[in-house]
């Protein structure tokens, strides 16, 4: 596999566990009406890492897909999981965020929990292949970030997925 050169500093505190009771800085209060002040949520910067975005490299692919009501990685998703597991093993400083997603049918919060199951399955598969627990955070986006908006089975299948993001990409 192609050797990758890593940026020296990838020290995002991905696994920083509990940040409780902190006032969020960077949120701006813009206007007021009816006793409600308007706040704009700060966005994320997100600078990509070139080697991970090379379209000729399997590592540029980040999504594994799931069947309806399923939390099992399909055989066609295995090579991708294996490639990212190798990358994490070879680059122990690297951190990954796995985002689980569902299609839009049903309760948003229940779907958030189902998306978490998909993210956890991806994380466990990566760990079985040698990635360390501390490198990976699994979270869910539930049905909130569909890649495809149509109400078709094709679209739903595209939305039932786990996405792997590296430090700097989230």
Partner 1 sequence: MTKLLTAFRLFLAAALSSLALGAHAQLSIEITGAGATRFPVIIPIFENEGRLPQSVTDVVRANLERSGLFNLVDMGPLPMPESVMPDLAAVRARGADAVLTGSLIPMADGRYEVRFRLFDAQKQLELGAMALPMSPAQNRIVGHRIADFVFEKLTGLPGYFATRVAYVIKSGPNFELQVADADGMNAATALRSREPIISPAWSPDGQSLAYVSFEQKKPIVYVHTLATGQRRVIANFKGSNSAPTWSPDGNQLAVVLTKDGQSQLYVINADGSGVRRLAQSSGIDTEPFWGSDGHIYFTSDRGGSPQIYRIPAAGGSAQRVTFDGNYNVSPRLSFDGKLLAFITRNAGRFQVAVQDLATRQTTILTDSARDESPSFAPSGRMILYATDSGGRGVLSAVSTDGRIRQRLTVQAADVREPAWGPQIR
Binding site for partner 1 (CB under 8 A): 15, 17-24, 27, 29-44, 97, 99, 105-110, 112-114, 116-117, 120, 137-142, 144-145, 151, 165, 170
Select 38 or 90, whichever has its Cβ closest to partner 1: 38
The separation between CA 18 and the C-alpha centre of its own chain, rounded to angstroms, equals 19
Beta carbon of residue 147, minimum distance to partner 1 (angstroms, whole number): 13
Beta carbon of residue 86, minimum distance to partner 1 (angstroms, whole number): 24
Angle value at C-alpha 124, between 120 and 129, nearest 5 degrees = 155
Select 21 or 55, whichever has its Cβ closest to partner 1: 21
Beta carbon of residue 42, minimum distance to partner 1 (angstroms, whole number): 7
Select 86 or 117, whichever has its Cβ closest to partner 1: 117
Q: How far apart are CA 117 and CA 54, in angstroms?
A: 29
Non-local (6+) Cβ contacts of 167 within 8 A are: 10, 12, 14, 94, 95, 96
Select 59 or 141, whichever has its Cβ closest to partner 1: 141
Strand partners, 139: 99
Beta carbon of residue 77, minimum distance to partner 1 (angstroms, whole number): 21
* Rg, the chain, Cα only: 18
122 and 164 in contact (C-beta within 8 Å)? yes
């Amino acid at each position: 596999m192609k050797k990758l050169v890593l940026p020296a500093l990838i020290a995002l505190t991905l696994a920083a566990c509990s940040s409780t009771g902190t006032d969020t800085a960077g949120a701006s209060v813009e206007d007021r009406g009816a006793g409600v002040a308007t706040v704009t949520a700060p966005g994320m910067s997100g600078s990509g890492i070139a080697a991970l975005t090379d379209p000729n490299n399997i590592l540029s692919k980040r999504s594994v897909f799931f069947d309806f009501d399923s939390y099992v990685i399909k055989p066609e998703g295995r090579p991708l999981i294996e490639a990212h597991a190798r990358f994490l093993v070879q680059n122990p400083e690297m951190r990954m965020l796995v985002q689980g997603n569902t299609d839009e049918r049903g309760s948003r919060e229940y779907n958030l929990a189902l998306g978490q199951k998909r993210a956890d399955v991806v994380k466990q598969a990566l760990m079985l292949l040698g990635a360390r627990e501390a490198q990976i955070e699994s979270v869910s986006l539930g049905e909130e970030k569909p890649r495809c908006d149509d109400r078709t089975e094709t679209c739903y299948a595209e939305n039932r997925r786990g996405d792997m993001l590296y430090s700097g990409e989230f």
